[in-house]
Amino acid sequence: MTLPSSEEIVEDIAFFDDWEQRYQYIIDLGKSIPPMDAQLKTDDRLVRGCQSSVWLVSDEKDGKLQFQVDSDAIIVNGLLALVMAAYNDRTPAQILDFDIDAYFNQLDLERHITPTRGNGLRAIVSKIQGIARESR
């Protein structure tokens, strides 16, 4: 998956004047996530705590965690892209050391998404951090 870095995303978001433009940018980021093979969308890969269906598959290669993600909601795919920019293809230590709260604060994200989307976003982050802890 070819996404900008988390730093580039923060810079890009700051460029837009209003949240309608920012939402469109986030949705467009989500379109860059490759679709997940339908066979991988199993119940055991669903992230619990998300309003929409979100599937997460992890793999480790050369000491780095790689994730495949997908959702049935366009905006959630965009939120997944934001998370992937921070976590995908990183070592477990890098994932656990990354200040996701500061990243979300820089994006001013949680003030502009619904509480249920925010809870889902936290569930995704928690799941990935758990995978990283188990992989250390």
> Residues 29, 50, 69, 86: which is the catalytic one?
50
Strand partners, 55: 46, 70
Annotated catalytic, 50? yes
Tell me the three-class secondary structure of 60-119, residue by residue: EECCEEEEEEEECCHHHHHHHHHHHHHHCCECHHHHHHCCHHHHHHHHCCCCCCCHHHHH
Name the token pair of 21. Answer: 């433009």
Q: Which residues are catalytic?
A: 50
